[in-house]
Structure 1
């Protein structure tokens, strides 16, 4: 009871900027500890295999950032960041979108088809790519709300036929004449994304994805829909009780994630080599790396770009490490796996500790 005889509520949040910095450190510390633990285990594996870590790690950095390799790393960073946002948007609403490969492929083939047959600039192909990715993702929301099928299941099941459909279109209706390769013809020059900085691999996709990611971060933190999405992810029934239109918002978030994935597919296809090549969108593993990055960031939007950068550097630098230090490039995949395992174990430990205290 307070002096006025009223019931005291929860204490106000205080501390100003210093408290905010401490809170951010608390949020980021599990991810930092996971990365440090994975690197420590990797160092032990290198030492056991007779590889000098003092040679391997500098080779990894050079293979990703130096010796003219930065543009290749940026070219891989852009679609990975886009796919991370495509996974993170529904995740904030408590939905797991595992259909990234299918949405990515549909977006890519839609962009190629529009660029080849609709003419004009790259604007229409990119819009078509976003719509093609949004449709299968949005379908999974009513499957959950009406039929009780979890999004993690429906998106994954819809992904395989989506990839197959894109493959069929690239092999037959849209195939390049006179060749047996599963690819479309080279896209018209007007539909190609402009290159930046004299590099043929870094295109307009980089600032476009950066701006869209910044807008997502702003919307998540500063807008009413962002708050409603977070409330939906925290407690669906509480959000419904608070007036949130749960079914509609779930559909919107899933569609937004799918649209982002489809847009990424369009951006990749409208960049070098300026055509849709069957398997070229799924083979690099953008979806898996993106999911790993979001998990590493613990689903916190501000940490997603940094987590994507870390995993992209590990992947891009693996070849340099193999070339200079004799370390198999697959070791970088082991590092990614260790990071995710440590993150998962830490999350379980924290949950059980909090449950024990409660």
Structure 2
């Protein structure tokens, strides 16, 4: 009996399998062949000609998965990713443009300064949500979400009026100076991918090998016990949210300096990197290493969805439905299906 229990699939594989089964039933009802649709998703994501697209989509999505996973590891939810990624992208575009006008600097130095400023600005913006909870009693779930609106509104106004590139009819800034873009190194490997890989390795190391990582996990399991053990949870919340926001800012900087080469209003919000990343972090239960894998899985699912729609005219919204079903099943398993929350633990 014990051996049979050990062979039973975990909640995440079971949720993925359930999502695929429900998606297949939906396709059958609509008159489409689920095997053909799923084959197109796999080929669209992993075929050699499509691998670059999957990797390009995975960089921001994995980054936002990691940004969401850090506070979630400690039982906190950061819903302000949209505002943080926008702040990071805006700062990453504006800093090199106007710094180059004032001081002639090499392109790589402009890019480095832009990225550091983007991470700092987004980290401080995210930390405001932690201050709202620890000092004013505003739940972080609410304050982090509400802070996105002024961030998006202010950057939209600045891009549309005082900092707008008047040579185009679009709401966007001037392009960053030549040399400040993040280059491709070889094949699909870019400087943005290298930077994100370094950050992923650092976060996983802190989570598994350091005292702050252990204390954050302890808080996620039982905050009262963590406080009883001497963990300064208010300072911890500030640190976790700053790190989360800084990574979101890095993602915004990578997209701006590597893809668009300028800040475009709405370009960082419309792909829903934040919400897909949050779903990936929930699927991983806040574990940073698993969040990276879940983010890559969702990126492949979305890239494959585009290919499926292009090849067999099945709407790509199916990939988003699959994501939602998978998260729903995981939530039911942990929230309703017998899993114990922090209040249930002694």
TM-score (normalised: structure 1): 0.88
Kindly indicate whether the alpha-carbon contact (under 8 Å) linking 2:73 and 2:220 is maintained by their aligned counterparts in 1: yes
The unaligned stretches of length 5 or more in structure 2 are none
> 2:178 is matched with which residue?
189
Structure 1 residue runs of 4+, over 6 Å off? Answer: 352-356
> Among 110, 131, 145, which residue is 2:134 paired with?
145
Instruction: Show the counterpart of 1:61.
Output: 42
Higher radius of gyration, 1 or 2: 1
SS of aligned partner of 2:14: helix
> Hey, what's the Cα distance between the residues in 2 that align with 1:353 and 1:216?
25
Determine which of 101, 106, 120 is the counterpart of 2:82: 101
Aligned counterpart for 1:130 among listed residues 119, 128, 139: 119
1:319 is aligned to 2:306: yes
Q: Check if 1:154 corresponds to 2:143.
A: yes
Q: Deviations over 1:1-30 (max 9, x none)?
A: xxxxxxxxxxxxxxxxxxxxx99x98x821
- 1:154-303 equivalences under 5 Å are 154-198=143-187, 203-303=190-290
Post-superposition offset of 1:353:
11
Tell me, what secondary structure is at the counterpart of 2:90?
helix
Report the counterpart of residue 78 of structure 1 in structure 2: 59
Distance 2:168 2:288 in 1: 44
- For each residue in 1:278-315, what CA deviation from the matched residue of structure 2 results, as whole angstroms up to 9, or x when unmatched? 00001111001001111111222221121111111111
What RMSD over aligned residues (CA atoms) do the two structures have, in Å?
A: 2.3
For 1:43, the equivalent position in structure 2 comes to 24
Residues 72 and 281 in structure 2, CA contact (< 8 A), matched pair in contact too? no
With over 3 angstroms needed to count, the CA separation of the structure-2 counterparts of 1:176 and 1:90, relative to structure 1, is: same
**Matching residue within 328, 339, 350 for 2:338:** 350
Q: CA deviation at 1:355?
A: 10
- Asked if structure 1 preserves the Cα contact closer than 8 Å seen for 2:57 and 2:299, the reply is yes
Tell me by how many angstroms 1:136 deviates.
1.6
C-alpha distance 224-352 of structure 1, shift in aligned 2 (>3 A): closer
- Determine which of 11, 20, 27 is the counterpart of 1:30: 11
Give the match for residue 17 of structure 1: none
CA separation in 1, counterparts of 2:153 and 2:194?
31
Which has the higher mean CA deviation after the structures are superposed, 110-119 or 58-67? 58-67
State how far apart, in whole Å, the 1-side matches of 2:163 and 2:128 are.
26
- CA offsets, 1:237-290, max 9 Å, x none? 222221111111111111110111111111110012211110000111100100
User: C-alpha deviations, 1:86-120, integer Å up to 9, x for none?
Assistant: 11111112211100000000000001011101134
Residue deviations 1:197-219 (CA, integer Å, cap 9, x gap)? 245xx521112111211110111
CA contact (8 A) 1:56 1:324 kept: no
Alpha carbons of structure 1 residues 212 and 248: separation in structure 2 relative to 1, 3 Å: same
- 1:341, CA displacement in angstroms? 0.9
Q: Give distance in 1, aligned partners of 2:342 and 2:228.
A: 26
Mapped partners of 1:131, 1:353: distance in 2: 34
For the 8 Å contact 2:79–2:145, the answer to whether it is kept is yes
- How far apart are the structure 2 equivalents of 1:57 and 1:240? 48
